[in-house]
Amino acid sequence: MAFGLYSRYRNIKQLNAVLEEKNRIIEEERKNSEKLLLNILPKVVADELKIKGSASAEKYEKATVLFADFKGFSSIAKELKPEKLVEDLDYCFGAFDEIVERHGLEKIKTIGDAYVCAGGMPRGSKSNAIDVVEAALEMQHFLDDMRKSKKNGNVTPFHARIGIHTEPLVAGVVGKKKFAYDIWGDTVNLAARLESNSEPGRIN
Protein backbone atom coordinates (compact mmCIF):
# COMPACT_ATOMS: atom_id res chain seq x y z
CA MET A 1 0.00 0.00 0.00
CA ALA A 2 2.84 2.37 0.95
CA PHE A 3 4.62 1.67 -2.33
CA GLY A 4 1.36 2.28 -4.26
CA LEU A 5 0.78 5.61 -2.50
CA TYR A 6 4.39 6.69 -3.13
CA SER A 7 4.12 5.69 -6.78
CA ARG A 8 0.88 7.66 -7.13
CA TYR A 9 2.42 10.69 -5.39
CA ARG A 10 5.42 10.57 -7.73
CA ASN A 11 3.18 10.32 -10.81
CA ILE A 12 1.06 13.27 -9.64
CA LYS A 13 4.21 15.30 -8.99
CA GLN A 14 5.54 14.52 -12.48
CA LEU A 15 2.16 15.37 -14.01
CA ASN A 16 2.06 18.70 -12.12
CA ALA A 17 5.56 19.50 -13.37
CA VAL A 18 4.45 18.80 -16.95
CA LEU A 19 1.32 20.94 -16.49
CA GLU A 20 3.34 23.79 -14.99
CA GLU A 21 5.71 23.72 -17.95
CA LYS A 22 2.81 23.70 -20.43
CA ASN A 23 1.16 26.60 -18.59
CA ARG A 24 4.45 28.50 -18.66
CA ILE A 25 4.73 27.99 -22.43
CA ILE A 26 1.08 29.03 -22.96
CA GLU A 27 1.59 32.19 -20.86
CA GLU A 28 4.79 33.02 -22.76
CA GLU A 29 3.01 32.60 -26.09
CA ARG A 30 0.11 34.75 -24.84
CA LYS A 31 2.53 37.54 -23.90
CA ASN A 32 4.27 37.27 -27.28
CA SER A 33 0.91 37.46 -29.09
CA GLU A 34 -0.14 40.47 -27.04
CA LYS A 35 3.20 42.19 -27.69
CA LEU A 36 2.78 41.58 -31.42
CA LEU A 37 -0.78 42.94 -31.33
CA LEU A 38 0.40 46.09 -29.53
CA ASN A 39 3.02 46.59 -32.24
CA ILE A 40 0.17 46.76 -34.76
CA LEU A 41 -2.60 48.51 -32.82
CA PRO A 42 -2.95 51.13 -30.06
CA LYS A 43 -3.53 49.48 -26.66
CA VAL A 44 -7.13 50.70 -26.28
CA VAL A 45 -7.98 49.37 -29.74
CA ALA A 46 -6.22 46.05 -29.08
CA ASP A 47 -8.10 45.66 -25.78
CA GLU A 48 -11.43 46.36 -27.49
CA LEU A 49 -10.59 43.85 -30.23
CA LYS A 50 -9.76 41.15 -27.66
CA ILE A 51 -12.97 41.74 -25.68
CA LYS A 52 -15.49 42.32 -28.50
CA GLY A 53 -13.79 40.65 -31.47
CA SER A 54 -14.00 43.96 -33.39
CA ALA A 55 -12.95 47.57 -32.93
CA SER A 56 -15.20 50.60 -33.46
CA ALA A 57 -14.18 53.44 -35.74
CA GLU A 58 -13.69 56.74 -33.94
CA LYS A 59 -13.90 60.38 -34.96
CA TYR A 60 -11.48 62.78 -33.31
CA GLU A 61 -12.41 66.45 -33.44
CA LYS A 62 -8.88 67.69 -32.90
CA ALA A 63 -6.03 65.40 -33.92
CA THR A 64 -2.65 66.29 -35.40
CA VAL A 65 -1.11 64.32 -38.27
CA LEU A 66 2.57 64.26 -39.22
CA PHE A 67 3.88 63.08 -42.60
CA ALA A 68 7.63 62.77 -43.20
CA ASP A 69 9.56 61.48 -46.19
CA PHE A 70 13.10 61.66 -47.56
CA LYS A 71 14.24 63.92 -50.40
CA GLY A 72 15.42 62.05 -53.52
CA PHE A 73 14.76 58.65 -51.98
CA SER A 74 14.17 56.93 -55.34
CA SER A 75 17.59 58.07 -56.59
CA ILE A 76 19.24 57.01 -53.33
CA ALA A 77 17.55 53.61 -53.54
CA LYS A 78 19.08 52.99 -56.98
CA GLU A 79 22.58 53.56 -55.61
CA LEU A 80 22.32 51.36 -52.52
CA LYS A 81 22.27 47.59 -52.12
CA PRO A 82 18.85 46.36 -50.92
CA GLU A 83 20.26 45.26 -47.56
CA LYS A 84 21.90 48.64 -46.98
CA LEU A 85 18.76 50.53 -48.00
CA VAL A 86 16.57 48.58 -45.54
CA GLU A 87 19.21 48.85 -42.81
CA ASP A 88 19.40 52.66 -43.13
CA LEU A 89 15.61 53.06 -43.27
CA ASP A 90 15.24 50.81 -40.23
CA TYR A 91 17.84 52.88 -38.36
CA CYS A 92 16.01 56.16 -39.08
CA PHE A 93 12.51 54.85 -38.53
CA GLY A 94 13.62 53.13 -35.32
CA ALA A 95 14.79 56.53 -34.03
CA PHE A 96 11.50 58.10 -35.18
CA ASP A 97 9.60 55.38 -33.27
CA GLU A 98 11.45 56.29 -30.06
CA ILE A 99 10.75 60.01 -30.58
CA VAL A 100 7.05 59.33 -31.24
CA GLU A 101 6.73 57.16 -28.13
CA ARG A 102 8.54 59.73 -25.99
CA HIS A 103 6.03 62.42 -27.00
CA GLY A 104 2.98 60.19 -26.43
CA LEU A 105 2.04 60.00 -30.11
CA GLU A 106 0.70 57.09 -32.15
CA LYS A 107 2.68 55.67 -35.06
CA ILE A 108 0.21 54.96 -37.86
CA LYS A 109 2.33 53.40 -40.62
CA THR A 110 5.29 53.61 -42.95
CA ILE A 111 4.83 53.59 -46.72
CA GLY A 112 8.13 53.19 -48.53
CA ASP A 113 10.20 56.09 -47.21
CA ALA A 114 7.16 57.91 -45.73
CA TYR A 115 6.54 57.90 -41.99
CA VAL A 116 3.09 58.77 -40.60
CA CYS A 117 2.15 59.42 -36.97
CA ALA A 118 -0.57 61.32 -35.11
CA GLY A 119 -1.26 63.04 -31.81
CA GLY A 120 -4.53 63.31 -29.88
CA MET A 121 -5.53 59.71 -30.51
CA PRO A 122 -6.58 57.11 -29.53
CA ARG A 123 -6.90 59.20 -26.36
CA GLY A 124 -7.46 62.93 -26.62
CA SER A 125 -4.77 65.39 -25.62
CA LYS A 126 -5.07 69.19 -25.52
CA SER A 127 -1.34 69.53 -26.21
CA ASN A 128 -1.28 67.13 -29.18
CA ALA A 129 -0.35 69.82 -31.76
CA ILE A 130 2.58 70.99 -29.63
CA ASP A 131 3.64 67.38 -28.98
CA VAL A 132 3.70 66.62 -32.71
CA VAL A 133 5.68 69.77 -33.57
CA GLU A 134 8.23 68.97 -30.85
CA ALA A 135 8.53 65.43 -32.22
CA ALA A 136 9.05 66.79 -35.75
CA LEU A 137 11.83 69.09 -34.53
CA GLU A 138 13.48 66.12 -32.79
CA MET A 139 13.28 64.09 -36.00
CA GLN A 140 15.03 66.85 -37.94
CA HIS A 141 17.67 67.24 -35.22
CA PHE A 142 18.28 63.49 -35.28
CA LEU A 143 18.83 63.56 -39.06
CA ASP A 144 21.09 66.64 -38.75
CA ASP A 145 23.23 64.86 -36.18
CA MET A 146 23.29 61.72 -38.30
CA ARG A 147 24.57 63.64 -41.33
CA LYS A 148 27.21 65.46 -39.27
CA SER A 149 28.53 62.17 -37.91
CA LYS A 150 28.91 60.70 -41.42
CA LYS A 151 32.69 60.36 -41.29
CA ASN A 152 33.16 56.85 -42.63
CA GLY A 153 30.37 56.73 -45.20
CA ASN A 154 28.37 54.17 -43.23
CA VAL A 155 25.18 56.24 -42.90
CA THR A 156 23.08 57.50 -45.80
CA PRO A 157 22.63 61.31 -45.42
CA PHE A 158 18.83 61.50 -45.54
CA HIS A 159 17.09 64.90 -45.68
CA ALA A 160 13.44 64.82 -44.56
CA ARG A 161 10.46 66.95 -45.51
CA ILE A 162 7.80 67.11 -42.81
CA GLY A 163 4.19 68.31 -42.99
CA ILE A 164 1.82 68.72 -40.02
CA HIS A 165 -1.87 69.59 -39.83
CA THR A 166 -4.48 69.67 -37.02
CA GLU A 167 -8.20 69.13 -37.61
CA PRO A 168 -10.80 66.33 -37.29
CA LEU A 169 -10.15 62.83 -38.64
CA VAL A 170 -11.54 59.30 -38.51
CA ALA A 171 -9.52 56.32 -37.26
CA GLY A 172 -10.25 52.60 -37.31
CA VAL A 173 -9.15 49.07 -38.09
CA VAL A 174 -9.57 47.74 -41.63
CA GLY A 175 -9.04 44.32 -43.18
CA LYS A 176 -9.49 40.75 -42.04
CA LYS A 177 -6.03 39.51 -43.04
CA LYS A 178 -3.03 41.71 -42.22
CA PHE A 179 -5.46 44.20 -40.68
CA ALA A 180 -4.23 47.72 -40.05
CA TYR A 181 -5.07 50.71 -37.88
CA ASP A 182 -5.39 53.71 -40.18
CA ILE A 183 -6.64 57.31 -40.39
CA TRP A 184 -8.75 59.15 -42.99
CA GLY A 185 -10.00 62.62 -43.79
CA ASP A 186 -8.98 66.01 -45.15
CA THR A 187 -6.62 66.45 -42.20
CA VAL A 188 -4.57 63.49 -43.41
CA ASN A 189 -4.61 64.67 -47.04
CA LEU A 190 -3.57 68.20 -46.11
CA ALA A 191 -0.71 66.98 -43.89
CA ALA A 192 0.53 64.89 -46.86
CA ARG A 193 0.34 67.93 -49.19
CA LEU A 194 2.17 70.10 -46.67
CA GLU A 195 4.91 67.48 -46.51
CA SER A 196 5.29 67.25 -50.30
CA ASN A 197 5.57 71.07 -50.48
CA SER A 198 8.02 71.39 -47.61
CA GLU A 199 11.69 72.12 -48.12
CA PRO A 200 14.14 69.35 -47.13
CA GLY A 201 15.21 69.77 -43.54
CA ARG A 202 12.19 71.95 -42.74
CA ILE A 203 8.68 71.54 -41.30
CA ASN A 204 5.42 72.89 -42.77
Banded model confidence at residue 95, pLDDT cuts 50, 70, 90: very high
Q: CA-to-CA distance for 137 and 203, rounded, in angstroms?
A: 8
By three-state DSSP, how is residue 112 classified?
coil
Banded model confidence at residue 150, pLDDT cuts 50, 70, 90: low
Banded model confidence at residue 71, pLDDT cuts 50, 70, 90: very high
Count other Cβ atoms within 10 Å, centred on residue 10. 10
Which range (5-9, 21-25, 46-50, 99-103) has the least confidence?
5-9
Banded model confidence at residue 152, pLDDT cuts 50, 70, 90: very low
Per-residue pLDDT of 105-120, as tens digits, reads 999 999 989 999 999 9
pTM, two decimal places: 0.79
- Using CA atoms of 110, 114, 118, 121 in order, give the dihedral in degrees to the nearest 10: -20
Peptide linkage before 122 cis (omega within 30 of 0)? yes
Average pLDDT over residues 151-158: 69
- Using CA atoms of 121, 123, 126, 129 in order, give the dihedral in degrees to the nearest 10: -20
